[in-house]
Each structure stands twice: as C-alpha cells, then as structure tokens.
Amino acid sequence: MFWEGEALLINTIKHSESSLIVTLFARDSVHKSYARGANSTKNRATYQIGNMISVVKKSRSENSLGNLTNAETTKNFNSLFISSNKKTLILKTITEFLSLTLQEDENHEKLYDITLELLHKAVKNELTIVDYFNYELNFLSHIGYGVTLDYCAVTKAKDNLFYVSPNTGHAVTREVGEKYHEKLLIIPEFHLLNTEKQQINDNEIYQAFNLTGYFIEKNILAPMQRNLPYSRNLLLKEFVKDAAPIEL
C-alpha cells in the first residue's frame, strides 16, 4: 500500500530511542505509521505535534502499520505561534481533541477543512472567541454529538433562545427554561446575535467554554476516563484577558 500527501501531525508515541509512532490527520483519512529516526536530533523539529508535513507512507497491507519516509514540514504552526500563548494553546488543545477522538482510516474532510481554517485565521491574527466557539460546536457535530442552538425544543420558537439542556443538547427559550435555571447551560449572547458583536465580555466567554466543554467532556472524554485538556483551561484565561469589561 502506498499513500502520499500532506497532513496535520496530531500525536506521537515514542517507539525507540530515535523512532516514533505517528498519527496524521489528512483530508482523506487518518493515518498511523512508524517513523524511523523521527525522534533524532535531525528530524525532531519536523515531527512536532501541530506541524503540517508532507510525507510518503508505505505498508505491506491495509492492516499493517507501515513506514513514513520523505517527511518535510509544509507549515510550522509551532514556530508561527511561538510568540503567542493563545495561539499555542489553541494548537495544543485541538490536536489533543483530534488525537483522542479520530480513529485510523476514518474520513473527516469537513473537520479537516475547518481545523485548517481555524489555524490559518490564527496565523493571520483574525481568530476570535466566536471562531473558537464555533469550531468546538462543529467538532462536536462532526464527531456525532451536535448541539442544537437554532430553535427551542419545546415551543419550536427561534427567538428568545437562552438555555441549553445538558441532557439533550437542545436550546430552549428563556421563558421555558427559567424555572430550571440552575440545571441548564447558557448560550453566550454573541452566538445569538445576527451581527458580529464588537465587544464580548468575560461572562460570555465562560458561558461559551462551559457549554461546549460540558458536551465534549460528557460525550467524548468521560467514556475514555479522560478530562478536558489542561491547555483548554489556560486558553480560557487567555481569551478572558482580552474580554471587554462587564457593564454594571
């Protein structure tokens, strides 16, 4: 079997002193393979988690691990983000999410596209909390645990949406959910507005992270007995630093 292409490196496992088992997220599939010498001084920079690399994979059969050769870095996100804690934490968080959830040989074209779109927005200094929140929503949807935020599960209304049920992942209006306030998650205001909100306060950022984080942990990580990545907690703090003050 032969495969050649470009992929995002999402995980590495040390195999020997100088070699790694590498997981690559490509547009057509997820590839896991043996990379001889990947952990050597010469190649270590290429095989950093978060890099885009072009590579050749050769294997004897579909079921064998195969070997990677001719690896070259095509986009070094690690070096591009080195001066920004926020960007570095975004890269670390999403690669950990991807490595925990994606299985070898699965096809996730749309998830691949939105992942690269997010990273390229970060490169161009255009990434906002809105972009990151939407990425986590889309990530949940692509993995099969989508959250429905566009109409009320009870009344079918599309206006005055405010809460999300932690049981169903479905939005409800403020009137429907108010008496269950303590048990429900809150939709951040910036997501409900039709136009892009210029000033987003820290309360909205906490609501956004709580909402998607709850469903990622409940549906994806808890069955693996894993917690949300610590990098995501640090990322929350970075977004809060840039938030607008709450008007009293």
Give pLDDT, residue 244. Answer: 65
Give pLDDT, residue 248. Answer: 42
Q: Which two tokens stand for residue 230?
A: 């610590």
Question: Percent of the chain scored above 70 by pLDDT?
Answer: 94
**pLDDT tens digit sequence for 115-139:** 999 999 999 999 999 999 999 999 9
Band of residue 92 on the pLDDT scale cut at 50, 70, 90: very high
The reported pTM is 0.93
Give pLDDT, residue 17. Answer: 85
Give pLDDT, residue 245. Answer: 62
196 or 147, higher pLDDT: 147
Q: How many Å is the Cα radius of gyration of the chain?
A: 20
- What region does 190 belong to: left with phi over 0, alpha with psi -120 to 50, or beta? alpha
CB 224 within 8 A of CB 213: no
- What is the DSSP code (8-state) at residue 158? -
Give pLDDT, residue 231. Answer: 97
**pLDDT tens digit sequence for 153-199:** 999 999 999 999 999 999 999 999 999 999 999 999 999 986 566 68
Give pLDDT, residue 197. Answer: 63
Tokens 């405010």, located at residue: 162
State the average pLDDT for the chain.
Answer: 93
Band of residue 82 on the pLDDT scale cut at 50, 70, 90: very high
Give pLDDT, residue 211. Answer: 98
Count Cα atoms within 13 angstroms, Cβ side, for 225: 0
Is residue 46 predicted with pLDDT exceeding 50? yes
Is residue 57 predicted with pLDDT exceeding 50? yes
Give pLDDT, residue 66. Answer: 83
Is residue 49 predicted with pLDDT exceeding 80? yes
Give pLDDT, residue 247. Answer: 52
CB 147 within 8 A of CB 133: no
Query: How far apart are alpha carbons 6 and 25 in whole angstroms?
Result: 9
